[in-house]
Structure 1
Amino acid sequence: MSTPRLTRHAAPLRQQITRLLREDILSGAHQPGDALRESALCEAYGVSRTVVREALRQLETERLVTVVAHHGPVVTVLTPQDIEKIYEVRRALEGLVGELFAVHAPERARTALRELLAGMDVSYLRGTVRTREEANERFYGLLLEGAGNPVLAEEVARIHARVQIFRRYAFTDARRARISFEHFGRITRAAAVDRDPAEARAACEDHVRGAAALAAEEHRRRTA
């Protein structure tokens, strides 16, 4: 039966199904290790196998889906060791982003980051999951733009794709949102006000350390 979440006159069907399946994975409707059978997905979303296959291929590139030999696509399973290593790389990359922003960002980028932080008192600290996600993406977008290194931006995007499920958890937890907001403030002061590369790097790295601890906590909860 066709899901009422589809809007056939809006974005191409493939994009809609990719978005819906991604959302179902991130929300926990499909758990890590769950098989993603094409026939069941076709019935659930009311679309053809071609559309489902295209969506699964896209989510495989985002590391949300893994194709297992002789079993087909499943929701990606990360071990505690995987999480530790991924966040180790994320910490190094985002530390470099903060450092480069402090060194290279023009005044317009620094102003934009300060203005965004002021608005995040509402959109992030007191916002919804959706507004927190949007504010978070905008914050990182401004940091990466100001850092001025497209290669670094690509690598950060890849790492963020691998930890989407854990980043989503941070947006649903009010306590974690408050902690993250404080981290954003420290990053902004160091990178966009004081222009202190060492402190900007340290602030970004500390933020990722907190995110890593939250990811480990969420992984334990999901696998208990």
Structure 2
Amino acid sequence: MKKITIAIDGHSSCGKSTMAKDLAREVGYVYVDTGAMYRSVTLYALRHNLFNADGSVKTAELEQQMPQIQISFKFNAETGRPDTYLNGECVEKEIRSLEVSNHVSPIAAVGFVRTAMVAQQQQMGKDKGVVMDGRDIGTTVFPDAELKIFVTASAEVRAQRRFDELKAKGMPADFDDILKNVQERDYIDSHREVSPLRKADDAIELDNSYMTIPEQKQWLMDRFKEKIE
């Protein structure tokens, strides 16, 4: 059976990663969480004081340190999913914090950061048989992907999902703060100069506001089967 490249783009907290991870596991493909890559750079920047007081990025210092930032994924047998590693340290939990969420969009808007991440992502997916999710996979990273999905849901639904996810992990969460973060990220992601978030012309749109995870999973599997058959 021929292997294809699957690009799943969409807004923050709309369940892209869950869908992508599940599909990759079901069909035996490699899964790459590109959002985790930008979150890892953000975590590095927070730890190394690379933000100004107003939340903007100290770009000159970050650019100098980019060669020291190595991101990799290792399969976790317990969860059945890959964990994210920053310079050899598992940071899967740390990168999901609200502090990282609040700082990731400015990092992801920096041109040299995107160039470095896109190059790594293209290398990871060069042999096909990959499911990748993010903001610009179908438009910039893999414009020739055989299957492109664009996922969306209302900001309120996405904020509630994020709130529930953080509470389930025992992490602090305030719904209003999360909703504000979701709305701000939507604006920054859609208006940045480099690779803004937009639906690729040949992408299939999915509004999953009122779908269960099993329904989303089945919908995506059906699109996959249509494409490979």
More contact order relative to length (CA 8 Å, sep ≥ 6): 2
TM-score (norm: length of structure 1): 0.23
Structure having the larger proportion of residues in helix: 1
Query: Larger C-alpha radius of gyration, 1 or 2?
Result: 1
